[in-house]
Structure 1
Amino acid sequence: MHRVATAKKLWLLFAFLPLASGAVLVVHVLTRLSLGLALAVASILIFSIGLFTWRCLTSAARLELKRRIKAGAMAGLLATLLYDLSRLCIVTVFHDTFWPFDIFPLFGYAIAGQALTLGIATAIGLLYHYTNGLFFAVAYAILFAPRQWWLGILWALGLEGFMIGIYPGWLHIQALNEFLSVSLVGHLTYGTVLGIVSRRRWVYAPCCRLL
């Protein structure tokens, strides 16, 4: 019984590791610490803790973890693509003054410094954006992939709450109503795709026991 409880704790620890890519943004916003430096430190911690946790898991748990990570990565890529597409549709159709993709170069400058060209900063920021989309999806899949698809929407609304709490003050957004509507549509899209696709990918992957 103690072994099972320990294994479940390790499983949960592994699930929360991918969320570090978003947590470092909070650290950056609150402390002005370089986002690049925070990501470097987080990467070392994720690798070290992840390696230790992986070694402590049973062989069956490792197989199941791989299964859920693959499901989450596939779902996360598609969900993030459609998240961006839905936001693009909203701002295009309604001619919004708020342009959500301005965040990409800001991410890039925060990670690698102000000396970057706009194109390189945008590319780095886009990579960080998609890394978050994939990592958040992997964390979701580890925890909830076998469960009801609509849990993906609740997960995405949690991410929406995180964004609302951080972005307006950090970016000094003026068109707040437009930001909220674009963000909500994007996260509803992301969560729906994440919940459905991760569950389907998990269902049709080779089956094994968790513990």
Structure 2
Amino acid sequence: MAERARGEQRTSTVVGPVVRARPGPGGRGAAILCALLGLLPVTPVLAWSYGLAPFAVWFWSATVPSLALLAALGVATARRPHRRRLHRALVVGAVGGLLGTLGYDLFRVPFALAGVRLFAPIDTYGVLALGADSSDPRTGLLGWAFHFSNGIGFGISYAVLASGRRWQWALAWGLMIETLVVASPVAGVYALRGPGLIAIAYAGHLAYGTPLGLLAADPERTVGRLREVGPHTTAYALLAVLLVLVVWQRPFGTPATVRAGQRVAPGPSALVLDGRFHPQYLRIPAHGCVDLHNGDPVPYTLPAAVGSPRLEPGRTTTACFAAAGNAVLRVRTSDRPYAGGFVIVDRTAVADRQADANRTAAVDRAALADRTVSRSGPEGAPR
């Protein structure tokens, strides 16, 4: 009996600590660290929407380092047997987040084809990250890369904390992400209003959570299947997505219409062809202005600008905007779905001192006279 008691005591002292040492993949501290790193990529959007600092500051100081650290942890844990569970969670989270983001975007494609500008925020990310006056293929590539990094980061955060749980937990995770967006200033900045848009956003996050939850529910099986495909399937999948984005966005050249629009005037400017802005996205400081050259044979009116200026055919018009805080404004030239473009009001933007003074005067004149401020002839506003 004494021997049996001593044996039971030895068993309890050996088994007990093993059970307590596995609260999460690779340990509680490591799991929490990876979860936090997975959440950091999205901080530029939140910080900019709250007006805390320029988007670019948070992008280069939070998003890029956190992604680099997660990649380094993924490589390091692969070589350490005692970190195998954490490595599996990182792999499953990255792949699940990638597939979830693809599912989220594919769900929204039919609505975008119908004219709902659901993908507009993605292009603004690149403009803000580079601090550019307007969009081009480089900002487009960076915006989409940022979009996918957010989806992958959210996937990693979920997997390191909830691997092995029922897949429906990931649906709740996706809905929680969207709820935080709707409850934050991000919804106001990007004009996420109305039951239709909000319903699409929530449904899209269910499409995000489904593949993530299915893969994270059995991480060992998921990693085993990935290894059957190849030894570095996760890395190749991420590189493949990046390659597709590069081929799609073509960042090594700028379309002629975009170049022409950027040369209309110093600062944010665009060429209007077939009722659309080229480039599509213009970034201005608070109470700033843009210069638009109407290359079409018909006039357009911009209700979103101060004084609803009229764009006369063949003329360059300065359109000013009264927004004082960060905002993304939909500027329409007509009721057609893709007509016009977007103006990003960024109160952290730095404008040339003289140009800023001239544009402020243009705002005052437009507000008082309720007319277009034109620079096309002798009656145009001085620069």
- TM-score, normalized by length of structure 1? 0.80
Paired residues of 1:146 and 1:199 also in contact (CA < 8 A): yes
SS in 2 for 1:65: helix
Kindly state the Cα deviation for residue 139 of structure 1 after the two structures are TM-superposed: 0.9
The one of the two structures with greater contact order (alpha-carbon pairs below 8 A, sep at least 6) is 1
Change (3 A) 1:51 1:105: closer
* Rounded Cα–Cα distance in structure 1 between residues aligned with 2:53 and 2:119: 23
Kindly state the Cα deviation for residue 91 of structure 1 after the two structures are TM-superposed: 4.5
Equivalent of residue 53 in structure 2, options 24, 29, 33: 33
* Rounded Cα–Cα distance in structure 1 between residues aligned with 2:69 and 2:210: 32
* Rounded Cα–Cα distance in structure 2 between residues aligned with 1:32 and 1:114: 19
1:162 aligns with 2:180: yes
Paired residues for 1:1-211 under 5 Å: 4=21, 7-42=27-62, 43-44=64-65, 59-92=80-113, 95=114, 98-166=116-184, 167-173=186-192, 176-205=194-223
Change (3 A) 1:45 1:79: closer
SS in 1 for 2:223: coil
Aligned to 2:296: none
SS in 2 for 1:31: coil
Change (3 A) 1:138 1:67: same
Kindly state the Cα deviation for residue 197 of structure 1 after the two structures are TM-superposed: 2.2
Among all aligned residue pairs of Structure 1 and Structure 2, give the percentage whose two residues are the same amino acid.
Answer: 23
SS in 2 for 1:137: helix
Amino acid corresponding to residue 176 of structure 1 in structure 2: G
Q: Report how many residues are paired.
A: 200
CA radius of gyration, larger in: 2
C-alpha deviations, 1:159-184, integer Å up to 9, x for none? 111221233211234x5222202101
Q: CA RMSD in A?
A: 3.1
* Rounded Cα–Cα distance in structure 2 between residues aligned with 1:45 and 1:102: 25
Question: Structure 1 or 2: larger strand share?
Answer: 2
Change (3 A) 1:198 1:89: farther
C-alpha deviations, 1:5-55, integer Å up to 9, x for none? 8x4234222222210112332112112522221122214477679989x99
Name structure 2 gaps, 5 residues minimum.
1-16, 225-383
* Rounded Cα–Cα distance in structure 1 between residues aligned with 2:175 and 2:88: 25
Amino acid corresponding to residue 163 of structure 2 in structure 1: A
- TM-score, normalized by length of structure 2? 0.46
